[in-house]
Structure 1
Amino acid sequence: MQETFEDFDHLGDIVDKAVTPETITGGDTNNALTEVLSREAGIDSEKARQVVQEISDTINALDENYRDLQAHKAKGGSTEDWLTKKIDEAGGTKDKTEQVRQILTGLEAANREQAGELHRDGELEQPLVFDDKQDLGDYSSLNKKRYAKAITDAVANNTLLNAIELKRGKLRVTKAGKENPLLKQFFEAPLEGAEDSPTKKAVSIALTIAREKQLLPQTMSDSTNEEIAVIVDQGLSRAKTMYKVGTGELSPVKAIHYVIDRATSVVGHIAKQVCTRAGRILGRIAGTTVGELIEKKFKVKGFSKYSKYVGEIAGEKVGKTISGYIKKGAKIVGEGSKKIVTSIAKGIETGWNALKSGVKSFLGL
């Protein structure tokens, strides 16, 4: 049975129970969210505390990665060097080459599937041809930066394709409901404002409550706490960015920069978790490779799809004005991304890699 947007219609009410003055501005977000989760999901307080801690740690790690990346770039460093540093921080493992290679191939497979779906649905006039990825060799010495560059290029490509998908979906508001003033405050505040972290944690707990009550769509019902945190981080970050574009506060180019960097922060987190074998986000399915899990999460039916739904849930709770700006921004950024992809695709005969230089030229990367 195909899942529809209506599968998320009930979540607005749960969001209201999680996004409250106590959880956002009360001073002890984790304790307040523990009480909400225990009460609403019917689980004991110790289990609730562990769940909240996992979600909080993930959001904090993604935020720290983003700040660290910005500081690195401000000193003249490249995104590739930053990602290499994050992978190396995980320490050495005998199969790190295979792990890093699977992260790359998973992202590229996700992009290939999403591009194919956009073409089949008529959003892209012609199919995009992908080069087979050459083996970059061992993850060592100069090859480290080659792998990091290939991964960051794949993230940029993924961001453009997701922007086209977001525009195509038109970010509908699921139903009319009472507005949540704290979510309105989240959108109106600056990017990376003080409201961002507690709001993402609270919305993550709302989805966790829905999971515990078996109210999430089947394909999302087994999501781990860490996965939910990543989905919410990406969904709210992208929706807020689109709002800023819609109001004219942020240019489309700066918006793409921001979304790419937030997505790169996620990949840096996943890469470190994979290489230390410490992550809950990966390795939970026996016999499933890292690459397959990366592909699952970054393709149109993975993080992209559910991040969009999170944006729509938020749109339900902020009223027509803000949700209208979110839709407007999504259309602007999506149309710009489509022009980049279409113009470059028409000029290439072999390979998706030609898109990379075009993106970098357009965005000044």
Structure 2
Amino acid sequence: MSVKTITNDFDQKTAEFLNELFLKYENSSESEKLDDFLARQLLDKKVTNSPDEAKNLINEFSTTLEDIEQDFQSLLTAKKEGKSRSQWLQSNLDGILQQFQDKDNNLINSIKTGLSSSNNSLIKSIFEEDSIISIPLKDSQYEDLNKKAIIEDFLTDIKNNTLLSIVSFDKEKGVAFNKNHKELKILQDYFNERMDSPLDINVKKVATTGVLIANKKGYIPFLKDKSIDEMAMIVDRGLTSAKIAYKIAKGEIDPINAVDYMIDRTTSTVKTAVTKVCRKAGGAIGSKVGGFVGSVFGPAGTVIGSKVGRIVGEVAGQAVGNCISKGIEKISTKAKEFVSNTWSSIKSATGNVFSLYKR
């Protein structure tokens, strides 16, 4: 589905749903557990008529959000121990392949297909012309010395996806939202707390619930046939990007370190996505991994995540929303430097895999 089908109704209605939801949550009884509160909202908004199904939906996307954070912390721990991203990713991919038999390298090829299609589609959506930034693997045999080559190829795609997503985020404008609405402390706390604060996952759970409601109402056509896992990952990426932008504007992190942080986050989220699909698909992996990765990291998933991140910032209050816009401008300026320096080379060459990020 074209990114252009994501309508202004999505912006406005999702902003209204999220504002209402976070306002209710901020005013809810301290004795009520978050999951019980969210289940009640899903029932009230007719997302489901079954209390058990409501609880299952919340449990499913909560587990996904927790897995994303766990994998990210695992990568940070590995780096503190002196390991590189590539070592961490290879170790985790080795573990996945030991657990799930990959006949004919279907998993390897599917991961590559998802990453390539995401990046090539992002290039097209940003520059409005067809060009290839990512090509198929020359050798998909995941063994011996070729393991390292495949991992490095994946990481090149992951770095490029991060930069292209930042540039895409900058293209999304703020939401025309009522500036006189009540500013919400819970969201201001979310943005002011450190990155990866314990508060983060609760805010992301509420936001995911809001997206589920908007999707049920038909305001997000792209998500119509998407899984709960995909929705949760899209929300996680959008809110994380908005928070890092806020931190940049506040001077708490510089753009270069922010890009590195986001590359780490993309790396670990790709691992989470692959694991999720393999667990559910078992031996019948086929193209499912590629489709899932393309859904989350491609143009439409990136746009929706960006919109949700901006909306949550606007709901938090005008000051937060303005900071997010300033932070996005700063980090996208740095990302555009990398992208622009490589764009002319991409257009004039074939058969090469280009890395937009040289560091």
Q: Same fold (TM over 0.5)?
A: yes
Query: What SS is found at the alignment partner of 1:113?
Result: helix
Q: Look up the match of 1:51.
A: 57
- The answer (yes or no) to whether the contact 2:112–2:137 under 8 Å persists in 1 is no
Q: Which amino acid in 1 is paired with 2:61?
A: I
Q: CA 1:140–1:274 in 2, change beyond 3 Å: closer, same or farther?
A: farther
Q: Look up the match of 1:81.
A: 87
Q: CA 1:263–1:94 in 2, change beyond 3 Å: closer, same or farther?
A: closer
Please state how far the C-alpha of 1:355 moved relative to its aligned partner: 4.1
Report % sequence identity: 24
Please state how far the C-alpha of 1:264 moved relative to its aligned partner: 1.4
Query: What SS is found at the alignment partner of 1:86?
Result: helix
Give the distance between the partners of 1:65 and 1:227, measured in 2 at CA: 16
Q: Look up the match of 2:251.
A: 248
- The answer (yes or no) to whether the contact 1:111–1:158 under 8 Å persists in 2 is yes
Deviates more, 1:332-341 or 1:127-136: 127-136
Are 1:115 and 2:123 an aligned pair? yes
1:114-140 per-residue CA deviation (whole Å, 9 max, x = no partner) reads 11232228xxxxx76546434223122
- The answer (yes or no) to whether the contact 1:24–1:198 under 8 Å persists in 2 is no
313, 323, 329: which one aligns with 2:311: 313
- The answer (yes or no) to whether the contact 1:245–1:252 under 8 Å persists in 2 is yes
Give the distance between the partners of 2:29 and 2:194, measured in 1 at CA: 16
Q: Look up the match of 1:35.
A: 40
Q: Look up the match of 1:138.
A: 141
Q: Look up the match of 1:226.
A: 229
1:54-82 per-residue CA deviation (whole Å, 9 max, x = no partner) reads 01100000000000000011111111221
Q: Which amino acid in 2 is paired with 1:174?
A: A
1:174-207 per-residue CA deviation (whole Å, 9 max, x = no partner) reads 3114322211111111111121011101111111
172, 175, 183: which one aligns with 1:173: 175
TM-score with structure 1 setting the length? 0.86
Please state how far the C-alpha of 1:345 moved relative to its aligned partner: 3.4
Query: What SS is found at the alignment partner of 1:36?
Result: helix
Please state how far the C-alpha of 1:6 moved relative to its aligned partner: 2.9
Give the distance between the partners of 2:73 and 2:33, measured in 1 at CA: 22
- The answer (yes or no) to whether the contact 1:7–1:216 under 8 Å persists in 2 is yes
Give the distance between the partners of 1:97 and 1:78, measured in 2 at CA: 24
Are 1:332 and 2:330 an aligned pair? yes
Query: What SS is found at the alignment partner of 2:45?
Result: helix
Please state how far the C-alpha of 1:243 moved relative to its aligned partner: 0.8
Are 1:60 and 2:57 an aligned pair? no
Q: Which amino acid in 2 is paired with 1:360?
A: K
208, 214, 227: which one aligns with 2:212: 208
- The answer (yes or no) to whether the contact 1:59–1:233 under 8 Å persists in 2 is yes
- The answer (yes or no) to whether the contact 1:12–1:317 under 8 Å persists in 2 is yes
- The answer (yes or no) to whether the contact 1:5–1:174 under 8 Å persists in 2 is no
Q: CA 1:84–1:40 in 2, change beyond 3 Å: closer, same or farther?
A: same
Residues 185-196 of structure 1 correspond to what in structure 2 (within 5 A)? Answer: 185-196=189-200
1:13-60 per-residue CA deviation (whole Å, 9 max, x = no partner) reads 322443314789768332332233223335221111100100110000
Q: Which amino acid in 1 is paired with 2:160?
A: N
Please state how far the C-alpha of 1:166 moved relative to its aligned partner: 1.5
Please state how far the C-alpha of 1:351 moved relative to its aligned partner: 5.2
Please state how far the C-alpha of 1:347 moved relative to its aligned partner: 5.3
- The answer (yes or no) to whether the contact 1:22–1:32 under 8 Å persists in 2 is no
Q: CA 1:30–1:71 in 2, change beyond 3 Å: closer, same or farther?
A: same
Query: What SS is found at the alignment partner of 2:49?
Result: coil
Q: CA 1:273–1:97 in 2, change beyond 3 Å: closer, same or farther?
A: farther
Give the distance between the partners of 1:252 and 1:25, measured in 2 at CA: 38
Please state how far the C-alpha of 1:224 moved relative to its aligned partner: 1.8
Q: Look up the match of 2:296.
A: 297
| Gap runs ≥5 in structure 2 | none
Query: What SS is found at the alignment partner of 2:162?
Result: helix
1:196-226 per-residue CA deviation (whole Å, 9 max, x = no partner) reads 01110111111112233x2332222222211
CA-based RMSD: 2.7
Q: Between Structure 1 and Structure 2, how many residues are aligned?
A: 347
Q: Which amino acid in 2 is paired with 1:105?
A: T
222, 240, 256: which one aligns with 1:237: 240
Q: Which amino acid in 1 is paired with 2:246?
A: Y
Q: Look up the match of 1:350.
A: 349
